Amino acid sequence: MWKLLAITLVGCGLAGCGVMPVERPQATLVCHNANCAGATEPTADNTLAALDASLALQYRGRPAIDGMEVDTLWDRSRSTCIFAHHFGQLAGPPALGMDAAERVATHLLQSGPVSWSGDRFFIKIELKAEVLIDGTSHSDEEVGHHLACVFDMADRIIAAARQNSIALELGFDSEKVSLLRAITKHARWPGKEPFEDVSLRLIANVASQGLEPTDLPSLQGDSTSEGVDVLAFHATRIPTKVVDDYAALGATLMLWMQDAAPETLDAMRTYEPRYVVTNEATLFRRWGEQ
């Protein structure tokens, strides 16, 4: 009896039965608010220092992240496009959106790997919808200025990627779908596949107002359609059925968070999003390995 049990246990150990390791879903790891080199610290979000540290973050001897998120605001009081998350965050003169683009371009021009995958990089440029601290929205003229700014940023980053033969995916992101529609109607919009190894994408949120049935083909991966391509969601902020429905429709999903919670990791397994946007890049690298 004991001999049989011992043989069974040893056999199980050799055969790998018992607790089988479960392969964890892999996603494009994007640095939330250009600030993912340490613990979540919102006051450092969208600052050049945090952006530099995040681009330089290493894990197992190579860049820890696959991509970067930079936020832009059209600042009515300064008539310029700034690199910031919201106006209440600003303690001093903010950096410009173009400053952030220049840092990313410099990163893409370096020799050696520029991301965890080596020669592929994802950049997400978010257009915030307010132009003043009280939440005032863009005028039509300001929409034009803001779009010109993000196209300048995109051009600089695309040029650097092409110069160094980096495959680039660049997403314009806004919770205000009308801003995304304005991008594709802009004279400088080059289409979603402007060059070999350069893809442009549009990113909204599952709760965004203004999504339409015509967005479904692009959400399902049809890059010839001009609709929204990716929907971001948060694991704990709203009930789950909206995300369930988009997942059932085959929409491309992006999980974002501030602090990773058990629900966040559960959402990784449940929805297997293509992108994960986090302030805790190293944590997610380790989680993906286990």
Partner 1 sequence: MALMATCVALTSFVDVACAESPERAYFAGLLVRTDRSTQLTRFSGGIKTGRVALNVVLDPLGYNRAGQQSDTDAFVEVDIVRNWALIGGWRVVATPVLGSLYWQHRAFTGISAPLPSLMWGRVRMRVAGEVSMPLVKHGDDLPTMTVMDSNEIGWSLFLRAEVTGGF
In the complex, the residues that contact partner 1 under the rule CB under 8 A are: 205-213, 215-216, 236, 238-242, 244-246, 248-249, 263
* In the complex, minimum distance from the CB of residue 163 to partner 1, in angstroms, rounded to a whole number: 39
Residue whose CB is less far from partner 1, 210 or 288: 210
Are 48 and 100 within 8 A, CB to CB?
Answer: yes
Residue whose CB is less far from partner 1, 16 or 213: 213
* In the complex, minimum distance from the CB of residue 277 to partner 1, in angstroms, rounded to a whole number: 19
Distance of alpha carbon 73 from alpha carbon 126, whole angstroms: 9
Are 104 and 150 within 8 A, CB to CB?
Answer: no
Angle between helices 97-108 and 48-56 (to 10 degrees): 20
Size of the chain, expressed as the number of residues it contains: 290
Closest by alpha carbon to 37, among 283, 287, 280?
280
* In the complex, minimum distance from the CB of residue 176 to partner 1, in angstroms, rounded to a whole number: 12
Question: How far is residue 103 from each of residues 55, 144, 154, 162, measured CA to CA in Å?
Answer: 9, 24, 12, 16
Distance of alpha carbon 88 from alpha carbon 125, whole angstroms: 20
Residue whose CB is less far from partner 1, 3 or 241: 241
Residue whose CB is less far from partner 1, 80 or 220: 220
Antiparallel, parallel or unpaired: β 230-234 and 198-205: parallel
Q: How many CB atoms lie within 10 A of CB 279?
A: 27
Q: For 235-245, b where at least 16 C-beta lie within 10 A, e where not — what string?
A: beeeeeeebee
* In the complex, minimum distance from the CB of residue 217 to partner 1, in angstroms, rounded to a whole number: 11
Closest by alpha carbon to 62, among 114, 135, 111?
114
Distance of alpha carbon 229 from alpha carbon 251, whole angstroms: 8
* In the complex, minimum distance from the CB of residue 15 to partner 1, in angstroms, rounded to a whole number: 30
Closest by alpha carbon to 57, among 81, 39, 76?
39
Residue whose CB is less far from partner 1, 139 or 214: 214
Q: 231 - beta bridge partners? A: 204, 253
* In the complex, minimum distance from the CB of residue 92 to partner 1, in angstroms, rounded to a whole number: 35
Q: List phi, psi (to 5°) of 259.
A: -95, 135
Residue whose CB is less far from partner 1, 79 or 236: 236
* In the complex, minimum distance from the CB of residue 145 to partner 1, in angstroms, rounded to a whole number: 28
* In the complex, minimum distance from the CB of residue 80 to partner 1, in angstroms, rounded to a whole number: 31
Residue whose CB is less far from partner 1, 197 or 263: 263
Residue whose CB is less far from partner 1, 52 or 263: 263
